Amino acid sequence: MGLRIETFDNARGGNTLYKALTHPAAVCRGWALLDRLARHTPVAIYDAGGAVEAFNVFFDLDQIEIAGVYVQQVERIGSMVLGHRAQPITELPCCHARTILVAAFDAERVLLQMPPYLPEGALAVSLDEMRIPADRLTNKRSYLDPLNFATNFAFFRDAGGLHTRLVTTNYWSGYGAGEVSCWITLFAGDGRVLAEWCETGKSPASAIILDSRDIRERFGLPEFCGQLFLHIVGAAGHDVVKYALDIFDENGSADRQCGGVLSCTHDANAWPAERYAGLPSPARGEQVLLWVQNSHAVAIPPGAIGLAPMGGERVTPICTPIAPFATCAVDVSELLPDLAWPGQIEVRAGKHAVRPRYEVLERGRRRIAHVNVERDDLKPAPELAKLQAMFGKGYLLPAPLMPRALWKSLALPTPMATCQTALPIAALVYDPNGREVLKQSLGRLPRAHRMALDFDQMESLDALGDGYGHIELVYDFSAGEEADGWLHALFRYRHRRSGHSAETSFGAHIFNTILTYRNEPQSYSGRPPGLSTRLFLRLGEPAYDTFCHLIYPASRRWVSMSDTAIILYDGAGCEVARSRLEIPCSGSRLWYYRSQFDEATRARAGRGAYIIVRDTTCRLFGYHGLIDGDGRFSLDHMFGF
């Protein structure tokens, strides 16, 4: 059974109350508050902030003798709260409670109003007793300001010869922030806190790098495979911590004998969801591990999370209990042995975990990726077919078609909303200069489809030769009108010589049109339409070159050529050099760090350097990766801000 909590709403955004109740630094204080209530019963609940039921999810009030529940809003009188019929707060003096729990943060004013209504001898307490420390607050005047909870989780491992490197930058400075600090909690696989510390004084635009090897040495830690909790203090503009995450083998370069480990993924999306989709079944010779990481200080009971074949309702439960903040690897094939690639799996997560990771193990190699939030608030939007004349291609999902002589490219459309019973989809392929070389209808794919698009098998792509281009998945309204705007796909790439693979997944957006629909084209810094680009490109360790595949997708024709700046910064956030790149509309450019900037420039940038891709003329979409001389590589989509 899932947790009955509000986490994220696409209309209103994230629920800060959820983050305040589940923050690791608030947990011990929350238990102390609960213990205090248990020692001074009976307790009356004054649900002044409408927070008591959310509090109850994580701090079980069933063990407390409750004398009654009281509310201030007349329209809530008579509603059921915690199994009690809510009474008007004016009736509180008739209650024989010893303690009054004011279920609200920033409750000073409420507490000042309480004395005329307190039962004789009763003491009033509030959720302010579980506030996180004041030095972790960005806005000390308003506790539930979203910027006070600019947080996220990250999969983090230093074990078995593998290490992890998380990279981001103080991008909040672009929204007016000055120096920021990053509070970090490292959880072991069993949920124990291994270390807690603060990276202070990160100046505007400076890099933030967390390397598991450095952390193990700094704190004298044993091997671990768990999660990092990140909390930014001093943030502005964004309350979600975005990052790139790389996983390497022990020496930072691939092990030639076993195939090596080089993989990457990105931020965890911060908000737990009821369902996730886009988990692939294992292909022949593969093992797929789902990493379930408990996001809360309450255990996940046996059977609370399960897996189901996409399009089916028979859920196979994960029977292993998962301790608070613990990490558990689940072998997908053990639970669903009859499923194989290109079969897909739904994760019925019950809001216990933020976006889970999965790892594919194949002949000594590993690649990491993530599942995506499956939305339950969408309905088919038949008007999209009627709007095609105005929006052209409308929603489109761009992805690289890597150089065909070196890479094999596949695409797997993934249903990503509970309402989707069929997916009418077409695939478009463009060369680097924006010329359409293929348009192929995939038909009306059922929810439980098993169709992976193999671009090797398309003779129409001979026009590309051995070169590269990009793919766009779009709705094909001639095959059906079951569009809802939440079109997703998984893209899988294999290096022909090394056999190394990587995969990434993403969803469709409307790109580069001045018309707007449902908050599209998205803008990071204001109201839509978003028609400019600011993308973060992390740079790898010296053993690797960094590549970047920039795509200029357009729902309708936009400016004919991009005016793209590739800006190199050092770790302190100072510009070192910049170059210019032009991309034709509906075209793409695949470029490499070592070719874009010479050795002397790269040496000036030094360790911790990164690149910002900036364009004020159009919205670009990008993919990045690392590669060595033997063809071992990683690949994922970039993040913007």
Q: Tens digits of per-residue pLDDT, 402-429?
A: 999 999 999 999 999 999 999 999 999 9
Tokens of 546: 């960094």
- On whether both 152 and 264 belong to a single domain, the answer is yes
Nearest CA-CA partner of 473 in 394, 535, 556: 394
Q: Which residues pair with 69 in a beta bridge?
A: 45
Q: 445 and 399, same structural domain? A: yes
Residue 232 sits in the same domain as residue 350: yes
The CA distance from 52 to 69, in Å, is: 10
Residue 564 included in any domain:
yes
Cα torsion 250, 251, 253, 255: sign: negative
Mean pLDDT rounded to a whole number for the chain: 94
| Whether 635 contacts 494, CB under 8 Å | no
From CA 167, how far away is CA 539, in angstroms rounded?
Answer: 9
Residue 623 CB: number of other CB atoms within 10 A? 25
Give the pLDDT band (50/70/90) at residue 251: low
pLDDT at residue number 368? 96
Could you tell me if 361 and 419 lie in one domain? no
pLDDT in tens, 359-377: 999 988 999 999 999 999 8
Q: What's the rounded mean pLDDT across residues 164-191?
A: 95
pLDDT > 70 in the chain, percent: 98
From residue 40, give the alpha-carbon distance in Å to each of 64, 93, 98, 120.
9, 17, 6, 14
Residues 59 and 200 in one domain: no
Degrees (nearest 5) of the Cα angle 28, 33, 34? Answer: 95
Query: How many Å apart are CA 435 and CA 584, to the nearest integer?
Result: 9
Same domain, 359 and 388: no
On whether the CB atoms of residues 472 and 411 are closer than 8 A, the answer is no
> Is 5 contained in some domain?
no
pLDDT given at position 458? 86
Q: Is residue 466 part of a domain?
A: yes
Query: Rg (Cα) of the chain, in Å, rounded?
Result: 26
Whole-structure pTM over 0.75, yes or no? yes
pLDDT of residue 540: 86
Cβ-Cβ contacts under 8 Å for 347 (sequence gap 6 or more): 275, 276, 277, 279, 290, 305, 307, 356, 371
441-479 core/surface letters (b: 16 or more CB in 10 A; e: else):
ebbbbebebbebbebeeeeebeebeeebbbbbbbbbbeb
- End of a domain among 99, 130, 161? 130
Any residues with CB less than 8 A from the CB of 394 and at least 6 apart, and which? 384, 387, 388, 474, 475, 510, 555
d(CA 391, CA 515): 7
Nearest to 348 by CA among 317, 320, 302: 317
332 domain-assigned: yes
Q: Cβ contacts of residue 413 below 8 Å, gap of 6+?
A: 423, 425, 442, 445, 449, 451, 453, 473, 487, 488, 489
Mean pLDDT value of segment 71-98: 95
If asked whether residues 186 and 267 sit together in one domain, one would say yes
> In the Cβ-directed half-sphere of 411, how many Cα atoms lie within 13 Å?
29
- Both 125 and 235 in one domain: the answer is no
Out of 6-20, 528-542, 618-632, pick the least confident: 6-20
* 125/151 same-domain check: no
Count of beta carbons in the 10 Å neighbourhood of residue 237: 16
Q: What CA–CA distance (Å, rounded) separates 462 from 456? A: 10
- pLDDT at position 250: 67
Q: What domain count does the chain have?
A: 3
Contact 430, 472 (CB under 8 A): yes
Please identify, among 93, 109, 130, the residue that sits at the C-terminal boundary of a domain.
130
Is the per-residue pLDDT at 252 higher than 90? no
Tell how far CA 222 is from the center of its chain. 28
Round to whole Å and give the CA distance between 445 and 311: 12
Measured CA to CA, the distance from residue 225 to residue 563 in angstroms comes to 43
For residue 331, is it within any domain? yes
> Which of 370, 399, 417 is a domain's end point?
370
Burial class (CB in 10 A: 0-12, 13-18, 19+), 36: middle
The pLDDT value given to residue 272: 93
pLDDT tens digits for 462-480? 888 889 999 999 999 999 9
Best CA proximity match to 285, nearest among 357, 339, 358, 360: 360
Instruction: Tell me if 610 sits within 8 A of 619, measured CB to CB.
Output: no
| Digit-coded pLDDT (tens) for 189-206 | 999 999 999 999 889 999
pLDDT number for residue 254:
40
Secondary structure tally for the chain: helices H, strands E: 10, 44
pLDDT above 80 for 10: no
How far is C-alpha 405 from the geometric centre of its chain's CA atoms? 33
Per-residue pLDDT, 256: 42
Tell me the residue range of the domain where 77 lies: 24-130
**Residue that wins the pLDDT comparison between 19 and 240:** 19
**Res 151 pLDDT > 60:** yes
User: Could you tell me if 121 and 188 lie in one domain?
Assistant: no
- Flag whether 394 is in a domain: yes
Highest averaged pLDDT of the listed ranges 118-122, 125-129, 373-377: 125-129
User: In terms of domains, do 288 and 146 share one?
Assistant: yes
Peptide bond connecting 521 to the previous residue in cis, omega within 30 degrees of 0:
yes
Residue 300 falls inside a structural domain: yes
Q: Residue 398 has what pLDDT?
A: 98
Tell me the Ramachandran region of residue 391: left when phi exceeds 0, alpha when psi lies from -120 to 50, beta otherwise. Answer: alpha
Residues 180 and 113 in one domain: no
Q: What's the CATH number where 70 sits? A: 3.40.50
pLDDT band at 255 (very low <50, low <70, confident <90, very high): very low
Task: Label residue 133 by pLDDT band (50, 70, 90).
Answer: very high
In a domain? residue 416: yes
CB 158 within 8 A of CB 224: yes
